[in-house]
Amino acid sequence: MKTNILFITSIFIIIFATSCNKEKPSNGDYYGTFTYNNPSGIIKTAEIEITESSKNKIVINGSELEKDGKKIEGKIENISFSQFGVDINGEWSHKLFSKNYKIEGTFTEDYYQGGNAYQNSGTFKITSY
């Protein structure tokens, strides 16, 4: 009886240890959707690449952002639709035993037009392929 309990416990520990990945969200290619508040209904998309993810930071499209647990914030400098990049404030998540990650939250984007500075904002979702 003790042997069976020990065996089952060992299997659960091995499964749990192998499913734990310290690099969350994992490195790889992602797809981003950015929905603007104003002008309403404008949606822009971008290819996103995460090259590094640790406890305190995440590198998205070459930009280092702060990471605290599930919270991610900072500026993605290199994004296809924005000349000056976007500031994001969001959280990452994934379903149990899934390797598909999602980062959701809000963003702001500064831009210049006619010599004047403006700012757009909205929500975003970045999902793994």
Token code pair at residue 117: 């500075």
pTM for the whole structure: 0.80
Rounded distance between C-alpha atoms, residue 79 and residue 32, angstroms: 10
Q: Which CATH architecture has domain 23-128?
A: Beta Barrel (2.40)
How high is the pLDDT of residue 15? 53
The SS3 call for residue 17 is helix
How high is the pLDDT of residue 24? 86
Domain range list for the chain: 23-128
Rounded distance between C-alpha atoms, residue 46 and residue 36, angstroms: 14
Name the DSSP class of 95: -
Cβ–Cβ under 8 Å, residues 67 and 53: yes
How high is the pLDDT of residue 35? 96
The SS3 call for residue 116 is strand
List the pLDDT tens digit at each of the 129 positions of the chain: 666 676 666 565 555 544 554 568 999 999 999 999 987 889 999 999 999 999 999 999 999 999 999 999 999 999 999 989 999 999 999 988 888 999 999 999 998 889 999 999 999 999 998
How high is the pLDDT of residue 7? 61
What is the signed CA dihedral for 32, 35, 38, 40, rounded to 10 degrees?
150
DSSP string, 63-83: EEEEEETTEEEEEE--BTTBS
